[in-house]
């Protein structure tokens, strides 16, 4: 484990860089979801049932991984709201 704050922050910055790459990849699939929905004549990007199912699953996955499930739920609520808005604006 790192001993000083600079080392701790460098570790956090490194993890954030990995998260950014993964979120960029996730965004490309969100864009594709919007295209597929538009192709099926679905105008509304928001899918509340899918959102609820993701939130339940991420809480379980967080517990298994040692991540506080309340932290995970807050992050994913915001993430899903942001990506749903992104999908709505990008694909239509
Ligand atoms: C990507 C989708 O569209 C929206 C965005 C979601 C996401 O970012 O995971 C989930 C549900 C939808 O509100 C989808 O329906 O799968």
- C-alpha 47/C-alpha 23 separation (Å) is 19
User: Where do we find the tokens 């699953």?
Assistant: 57
Region 18-34: mean pLDDT is: 97
Distance 69 CA to ligand 1 centre (A): 20
Please state the domain extents for the chain: 5-91
pLDDT confidence of residue 92: 54
CB 55 within 8 Å of CB 73: yes
- C-alpha 43/C-alpha 64 separation (Å) is 36
CB 54 within 8 Å of CB 76: yes
Domain 5-91 has CATH 1.20.59.10: yes
Atom of ligand 1 nearest to the CA of 29: 1
Quote ipTM for the complex.
Answer: 0.98
Q: Over the stretch 40-92, which tens digit does the pLDDT of each residue have?
A: 999 999 999 999 999 999 999 999 999 999 999 999 999 999 999 999 998 65
CB 69 within 8 Å of CB 63: yes
Structure tokens that stand for 18 in this block: 């990995």
pLDDT confidence of residue 48: 97
């Amino acid at each position: 484990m790192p001993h000083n704050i600079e080392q701790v922050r460098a570790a956090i910055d490194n993890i954030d860089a990995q998260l950014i790459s993964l979120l960029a990849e996730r965004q490309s699939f969100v864009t594709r979801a919007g295209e597929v929905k538009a192709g099926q004549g679905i105008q509304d990007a928001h899918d509340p049932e899918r959102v609820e199912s993701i939130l339940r699953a991420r809480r379980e996955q967080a517990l298994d991984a040692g991540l506080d499930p309340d932290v995970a739920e807050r992050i994913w609520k915001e993430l899903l709201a942001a990506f749903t808005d992104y999908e709505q604006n990008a694909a239509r």
